[in-house]
Every structure is written in structure tokens, then in C-alpha cells.
Structure 1
Amino acid sequence: MGQLIRAWAAIFMIAGLSACTTIQLEPLPEGMTDQPPADWQDRSAKLRQFDHWQLSGKLAVRQPSDSGTAIINYWIQEGETYDLALSSSFLGMGSTKLKGVPGFIELTLSNGETYRSGDPDALMKAATGWQLPLESLTWWIRGLPAPGGDFRLLFGTRGELAMIRQAGWEIRYERWHKLQGNTPALPARITALKKDKRVRVVVSSWQDLNP
């Protein structure tokens, strides 16, 4: 009798563990799959190696508190170090420069005032009113999930990356630039959505700075 009780207890324990580890996934959007194409591992490895680059384009932010647009005069990425120059008439931002590495940012406004913080997202919001996931954006802009967090990748019918879901954001890939050489296609337009927030980046040009 004791063995039978222990056996049933083990069965219920296994069933309980299975229930705890089941991840409830939202239904897939129509025309998308979460099965990566055969070349995704090679493609993502090449995108991770593409870590010295420069782009220019436009940034548009729509949020309940503040909305606006900015010109990305340049965004230079050298490994984990980023250097951005934005121009916008929104809220009198004028020319704003952002420099940083993960966990640190230096923000310089058009009047020359400089602010530094160990919380890049909080400083960006305090200075401009915009909530920008800047450190994650340095990965999303290449078509890669940011490191250190759970994510889900969704692909279109032709095998192209269509969406990343990560940290409560849904990043949609809408257009692509095809570069010469071994670098895979890079995003030309992405839209990041989180509840009532929207961040859109339109890239007009990419430049490979790898030596």
C-alpha cells in the first residue's frame, strides 16, 4: 500500500512540474511561423559579427505623453559603444547627442548641457520625454534579439525575419536593405510597439565600418 501511495505521489509531482513549465504562447499571426529557416543560424552569426557600423535615417516616437520625430544624422556603433546625433524641433531638442555603452549614457543637449546616468532609458525619458529602449535597439536594428532576455522570433513565408517579441515589445520588420558582400540584408524600417507606445526607425543608409 505504501509503495502504491508513493507511486501516485510521484505521478502527481511530475504532472505538477509539467504544468508549471508549460509556456502559454499567443497564436501566431497569419502568414508567420516560429520555425527558423535553414540559414538562420548562419545569418544571425554574421549579423552578430557586423558590430562596427554607421547608419542614418529618421526616428518617430508616438507615446501618450509626448510624440515627435527626429533626424538620425548618424548612429555609429563600435562593438558595445554607440554614438548618435539626433536633430529635432520637437520640444526644442535641437541637436542632441547620445554616447554610451551598456549601463551608461552621456546625453548632450543643443544648449551644451550634458547629463550622465547609469540608467540610459530613464535619462532619455527625463531629458526628452521619450521612452526608448536604446540598449535593446542597438540589437533590434540589425534584426537580432537583445542578449540577456527571453524572446520569440517569427518569420515570414520567404524565411525573412518578420517579428521579435522581447521584454514586452513587439518589433516588426517591414523593409530591408540588401548590402553587398557577406553581410545579410539589414532592416530598412522597423516598428517597435509596447502597449500604447510606438517607436519607428527608418534607415536610409547603412555603412560597414569593420576593418
Structure 2
Amino acid sequence: MKLSVIALTFAALVLSGCSSLTVEPLPEGLTEQPPADWRKTSARLDQLQHWELTGKLAVRQPSDSGTAVINYWKQDRETYELALSSSFLGMGRTTLEGVPGFIELTLPNGERYQSGDPESLVNAATGWLLPIDSLAWWIRGLPGPDGDFQLFFDDKGQLAVIRQLGWEIRYDRWQAFIEGYPHLPARITAVKGEKRVRVVVTSWNQTDGDSR
């Protein structure tokens, strides 16, 4: 199967027809001055390295738009497994497994594709220019280790925006998910040009192996 066929298969997975994704303008009143407890908060978030979440993914770009269910996203330090499906189409699960610098994509029919360039494989399969290796950081409310970044905070001292690798990550909502940890993102919107990717988290749990 050629990579173009992967793209068609994966596109069928995530598209759900009449999805709507609205992104509000960047609000005024943000500051680059972090709150006094930011260093403590970010250090605690960095300690959360074994977790699992579920939720929903919405995509909007010039060529198409749609939604997919995040059946689970499991993270074990740098190792991740992300399972997506589209209940609208009644298709099976597609999984992304990997570590920074390597990814394996498994289609619903069981066919597997591997690459040492995760971003290129995801782009070929989905049309998204999404730095997959940065997601495990952004989803926790932290900048990734690669590339310069800017952080913007609101008037309550809550992280509102990360700008990194040409992306603007907007933190739309935070929620207390895991006891003993700061609030975690419940909804984020990643913006790059005309591309919009929104993740809404419905559950987030600490898994075995996380140090307290």
C-alpha cells in the first residue's frame, strides 16, 4: 500500500462530515511574566510522566475538517501509544506508537508503517504538520524540550499560551484531574496558519510507575 493510500484511510478515520471548530482571537491582557509559583508548578507537571487520558480530537484545515475519539493516550515517560477512532464511520481503531524520533502507525486493517521521522509520517497519513514529539509536553501545559518558546499568562497567573515551533498552543480550560497535581489542561487549541487542532480531555489518570 502506498503512503497516499494511508492518507486516504486515515482521513476517512478522522473525518465526521459537519464538524465545527471555532478559534477565538488571542485575548488581550496576557503577560510573559510568570506567577511566583510557576517554577514549582511546572516542576510538578514535569514529574507526571506515566499517565493515560481519553477525549476527543477536532481538526480544521483548508482541505477538510472532522473529529475523532481518543480511545486512549498512554504515556510512559517518552514512550506513547495513542489510539484514535471515528464512531461516526464505524471504523476500527488506528494507533500511533513511538518514542521521540520513531513512530509506528497501525491502520484498522492491521497494516503497519514505521518511520524515523514521526512528523513526516503523521503528515503523510493525515495531512497535519503536527510535531508529534512535542505533544506529550504541550498536553501537560509545558513547553517541549526542542526549540525556543514563549509563555503567556493570564491575569490569574494561569498559563494561557505557548508559542513554539511555529505553533500557538492556546489553553482554553484547565481542570483538577489528578489528586496531588496542579490543574491539567482540559481543552487546548493548537494553531499554525490555517490549521487548527483541538484536544478536549474527558478523563486523565496517573498510571503505575509515576514517582510521588
Residue in structure 2 matched with residue 15 of structure 1 by the alignment: none
Stretch moving more, 142-151 or 80-89? 80-89
Closer/same/farther in 2, CA of residues 132 and 91 from structure 1, 3 Å limit: farther
Residue in structure 2 matched with residue 63 of structure 1 by the alignment: 61
SS of the residue aligned with 1:163?
strand
Residue in structure 2 matched with residue 51 of structure 1 by the alignment: 49
Residue in structure 2 matched with residue 6 of structure 1 by the alignment: none
Larger radius of gyration between Structure 1 and Structure 2: 1
Contact between 2:178 and 2:206, CA under 8 Å: does it hold in 1? no
C-alpha displacement of 1:109: 0.3
Relative contact order, CA 8 A, sep 6+: which one is greater?
A: 2
Residue in structure 2 matched with residue 162 of structure 1 by the alignment: 160
Closer/same/farther in 2, CA of residues 127 and 93 from structure 1, 3 Å limit: farther
C-alpha displacement of 1:127: 1.8
Q: Distance in 1 between matches of 2:64 and 2:89?
A: 9
SS of the residue aligned with 2:122?
helix
Structure number with higher helix proportion: 1
Q: Select 1:32's aligned residue among 30, 33, 49.
A: 30
1:79-90 mapped onto 2 (5 Å cutoff)? 79-88=77-86
TM-score by length of 1: 0.82
SS of the residue aligned with 2:39?
helix
C-alpha displacement of 1:67: 2.3
Q: Select 2:95's aligned residue among 94, 97, 103.
A: 97
Matched, 1:144 2:142: yes
Contact between 1:68 and 1:90, CA under 8 Å: does it hold in 2? no
Counterpart amino acid of residue 125 in structure 1: N
Q: Distance in 2 between matches of 1:33 and 1:57?
A: 30
Paired-residue identity, %: 68
C-alpha distance after superposition, 1:15-54 (max 9, x if no partner): xxxxxxxxxxxxx951211000000000000011101000
Number of residues of Structure 1 aligned to a counterpart in Structure 2:
184
Contact between 1:66 and 1:129, CA under 8 Å: does it hold in 2? no
C-alpha displacement of 1:129: 2.7
Q: Select 1:184's aligned residue among 182, 185, 189.
A: 182
Structure 2 unpaired stretches of 5+: 1-25
SS of the residue aligned with 1:187?
strand
Counterpart amino acid of residue 206 in structure 1: W
C-alpha distance after superposition, 1:62-90 (max 9, x if no partner): 11233221100000000000001100268
Q: Distance in 2 between matches of 1:133 and 1:62?
A: 16
Q: Distance in 2 between matches of 1:89 and 1:121?
A: 25
SS of the residue aligned with 1:30?
coil
Counterpart amino acid of residue 176 in structure 2: K
SS of the residue aligned with 2:93?
strand
Q: Distance in 2 between matches of 1:67 and 1:90?
A: 14
C-alpha displacement of 1:92: 8.8
Residue in structure 2 matched with residue 78 of structure 1 by the alignment: 76
Contact between 1:66 and 1:130, CA under 8 Å: does it hold in 2? no
Residue in structure 1 matched with residue 18 of structure 2 by the alignment: none
Residue in structure 2 matched with residue 13 of structure 1 by the alignment: none
* RMSD across aligned positions (CA): 1.8
Q: Distance in 2 between matches of 1:192 and 1:64?
A: 15
C-alpha displacement of 1:179: 3.3
